Structure 1
Amino acid sequence: MVSSPHEAMHRIFQQDPGVFARAVRALGIPFDDPISATPFCTDLTENRPLERRVDTLLSIETKRGKFLLAVEAQGKKAVDKPRNWAYYLAHLHAKYELPAVLLVVCDNRSTAAWASESVDFGPPEWPSLTLRPLVLGPDDVPVIDDPVKARQDIPLTVLSAVLHRRDPQADAILKVLVDALKGLEARDPDTATIFVELTSQGLGEAPAADTWRALMTDLSFFTSPISEEIRAEGRAEGRAEGHAKGKAEDILLLLDGREVPMSAPDRDRITSCHDLATLNLWFTRAITATSVAEVFAEE
């Protein structure tokens, strides 16, 4: 139950918004008297499904305790990212009651410099929240071109190759990485395959990708028929999932455009469906349906 002091402590500012500025000026914080004040709705609950996803989220435990690591891969500057990142950290702390760290991984120097900047949220007189991401860019991860170091830490070598893929040292990194993967193949071919895939994805269309394709001919485990079959299945599944997601978005767009009422569970049912035949049927019905029940109607 909300207490009377609780109510009084915030309602006084509704009665006289200027008391805020006068009170904090006594603390040496130079807020000006308000010219106007407009009450806003105090309910901050989302009234529509809003998908917010961090790229990778890990619960890390060390000898000092546990914390959450939220990893975001960022390829370019984006004005909305800092406020999204601040939301992620606050939400994670409230949901899991664990401290959270934001790690931003950037594959170019200008983006890394931008992401490294602290961002204050609030008026300049007294920012209430400061975002301080940890950033890993090309200048933060060393060039690993020593065979011994590559064998000792293959994951870091993969990251080094990806972040330096546009640099002249990229080929040298890839050469020691291939040698390290050959040694890993004998102990754990499945894990070796994962690192090969990650490297291939991370290099993208950079010139170093041609060097990597040539070097991979020495990796027999990666070019085996079984590995090719697994990758082919994965690509097919990825394409099917992409088609289903696109069709679900088309259904929502169509129903919203026709102003057909939809509840949050209705939207979830559409976005969580991965059967393309069902989605095609729902899309056809959505063209003329006057309610979501008509879209979902059983045959």
Structure 2
Amino acid sequence: MVSSSHEALHRIFQQEPGLFARAARNLGVAFPPPLSASELSTDLTETRPLERRVDTLLRMETEDGSFVLAVESQSAPSADKPASWAYYLSHVYAKYGIPPVLLVVCPDRKTASWAAQQFDIGPRQWPALTLRPLVLGPNDVPVIDSPDEAARDIPLTILSAALHRCEPEADAILNALAKALKSLSADDETTAGTFIELTEQGLGTSRAADLWRHLMAVDLSFFQSQTAQKLRQEGREEGREEGRAEGLASALLLLLRHRGVEVTEGDRERIESCDDLGVLDLWLTRAIAATSMTEVFAAAGERPGSAD
């Protein structure tokens, strides 16, 4: 069964075809940015009963000419894959008569290292085919943890988050991405909603996925797209199941832990004993950017550290 994180690692290139040229620079390969890109059928099935499907297939038009980009999301080494990849490229070249390029996107270093090798197909004395994939893994996409840098290239930041999702830098990337989406969502809710969904898919079942859901439910409360409303509603439904105040308190403590804010036993007791939904929601919102519990608790007419 294809996982949602698998889908995100190749769908991001459908959403933003120009991301390929930008990301490939990290591999030392200079492709010109596309002047246009159009999706092709991913069905490479022949008339015989053998079905083969590439994850994403794009025809890229550039000032240097055309090529077909096949994007594969690969989560683990597989002895059968090189033969399938060679088939994809040969079939595409025969079908469209356009030079093909294979990009393999891997969420871990072991798989990326395996995929980056040169695959010789044929006897060792004279390989008939040599397969040379371009590979993007955690080592090949930078950690983007600045909101300004994230805003300059949101698709690349999403890819950065997906590939670094199990690493300590994931939280900083997601916080930068959430802030960058604020400027975008005001102008284009549909695109922002797509980016939010792709990010959540790319994070899979990692710990960072929990942080992202809380960021979207709280930090994007200004964003009124169906996606954001759904995320916020899910959070409130979860709160009702556990007791709304208890659910918000749990979300706040989880967010603070993800962000590395020091929480004393007294702070924890204050949060867990609070039954004012408005106050809890305020604290949860402030926790997105706060660096201390003093910043979280401070409010007009309220002394930091005072009891509820």
TM-score by length of 2: 0.58
Distance 1:225 1:73 in 2: 28
Q: Give the aligned partner of residue 173 of structure 2.
A: 173
Give how far 1:214 is off: 1.6
Q: Give the aligned partner of residue 120 of structure 2.
A: 120
Q: Give the aligned partner of residue 185 of structure 1.
A: 185
Distance 2:210 2:83 in 1: 38
Change (3 A) 1:198 1:225: closer
Show CA shifts across 1:237-290 (max 9, x none).
Answer: xxxxxxxxxxxxxxxxxxxxxxxxxxxxxxxxxxxxxxxxxxxxxxxxxxxxxx
Show CA shifts across 1:194-241 (max 9, x none).
Answer: 0000001111111111211121122136665576579x9xxxxxxxxx
Q: Quick check: 2:193–2:225 contact (8 Å CA) kept in 1? A: no
Q: Give the aligned partner of residue 220 of structure 2.
A: 219
Structure of higher RCO (CA pairs closer than 8 Å, 6+ residues apart)? 2
Distance 1:93 1:196 in 2: 35
Distance 1:95 1:147 in 2: 43
SS of 2:66's partner is strand
Residues 61-100 of structure 1 aligned to structure 2 (within 5 Å) = 61-100=61-100
Q: Give the aligned partner of residue 163 of structure 2.
A: 163
Show CA shifts across 1:45-87 (max 9, x none).
Answer: 9673211100000000111000000000000111100000000
Change (3 A) 1:225 1:140: closer
Q: Give the aligned partner of residue 290 of structure 2.
A: none
Distance 2:61 2:226 in 1: 39
Instruction: Quote the sequence identity (%).
Output: 62
Q: Give the aligned partner of residue 109 of structure 2.
A: 109
Distance 2:131 2:228 in 1: 43
* Residue identity opposite 1:70 in structure 2: A
Kindly report structure 1 stretches of 4+ aligned residues shifted beyond 6 Å: none
SS of 1:167's partner is coil
Change (3 A) 1:49 1:211: same
Show CA shifts across 1:4-61 (max 9, x none).
Answer: xxxxxxxxxxxxxxxxxxxxxxxxxxxxxxxxxxxxxxxxx96732111000000001
Distance 2:212 2:55 in 1: 26
Q: Give the aligned partner of residue 53 of structure 1.
A: 53
* Residue identity opposite 1:134 in structure 2: L
Show CA shifts across 1:172-192 (max 9, x none).
Answer: 000010011011011111100
Mark the structure with the bigger radius of gyration. 1
TM-score by length of 1: 0.59
Change (3 A) 1:178 1:226: closer
* Residue identity opposite 1:133 in structure 2: P
Question: Would you say 1:141 and 2:156 are equivalent positions?
Answer: no
Give how far 1:156 is off: 0.2
CA-based RMSD:
2.1
Residues 4-83 of structure 1 aligned to structure 2 (within 5 Å) = 48-83=48-83
Total equivalences in the alignment: 187
Q: Give the aligned partner of residue 129 of structure 1.
A: 129
Structure 1 alignment gaps of length 5 or more: 1-44, 233-299
